[in-house]
Amino acid sequence: AQSVAQPEDQVNVAEGNPLTVKCTYSVSGNPYLFWYVQYPNRGLQFLLKYITGDNLVKGSYGFEAEFNKSQTSFHLKKPSALVSDSALYFCAVRDSNSGYALNFGKGTSLLVTP
Amino acid sequence: GAVVSQHPSWVICKSGTSVKIECRSLDFQATTMFWYRQFPKQSLMLMATSNEGSKATYEQGVEKDKFLINHASLTLSTLTVTSAHPEDSSFYICSASPREGLRETQYFGPGTRLLVL
């Protein structure tokens, strides 16, 4: 079985400050981890993924995430938030032993204020 | 690259009618396409996985006779909501995994908002 948890419904950050959106996962095999962003009434846009290799993954729009196996976490980070980063962020996981279907977290709403 | 389109972007229909939603991978061939449903302020729920040329695999609780999925080519999958009812109103999103290259990554369409009156 595989699952992913996003413990925060909403994260509020002032523009220019660093942001973190949390994600923890549970899989039986090796995890394939993803972050997607969704703007209102739109589909999901791929931000970054971890499959193997370096634990620090860099993605689109200045976002990065760190894979921590011991803590089973894959938190999304950005050094300096922009107002335009305000959106809904989804963490997703796939077990390397399963098919290609993703299991999504419930989403975290990020609000960046000027 | 890796663009997925959906048509229509929104549709309003009367209860009892059927609605077809198309999902196309525009610049890559997709071995596998996925259909998700999203309720307001909630996460995506996987409905079914479709592989080109074979029957779709439906998630538990999803009626296969209600939600007909056809994956006739490597660039097109369709979802038909048959005899739609108001409770079928939702945001339907498809995704596609490339046949070659980054197979582990899913690329999502912009979604189709369905309102059944």
Q: Is A100 left (phi over 0), alpha (psi -120 to 50) or beta?
A: alpha
pLDDT-derived band at B11, boundaries 50, 70, 90: very high
pLDDT at A21: 98
Cβ-defined contact of A46 to B107 (cutoff 8 Å): yes
pLDDT at A95: 76
Mean of pLDDT values over B65-92: 94
Q: How far apart are CA A85 and CA A82, in angstroms?
A: 5
Asked if residues B110 and B89 have their Cβ atoms less than 8 Å apart, the reply is no
pLDDT-derived band at B102, boundaries 50, 70, 90: low
Asked if residues B90 and B38 have their Cβ atoms less than 8 Å apart, the reply is yes
pLDDT at A55: 92
pLDDT-derived band at B100, boundaries 50, 70, 90: low
Residue of B nearest to A43 (CA): B110
pLDDT at B101: 55
Residue of B nearest to A4 (CA): B43
Check whether B2 has a pLDDT greater than 80: no
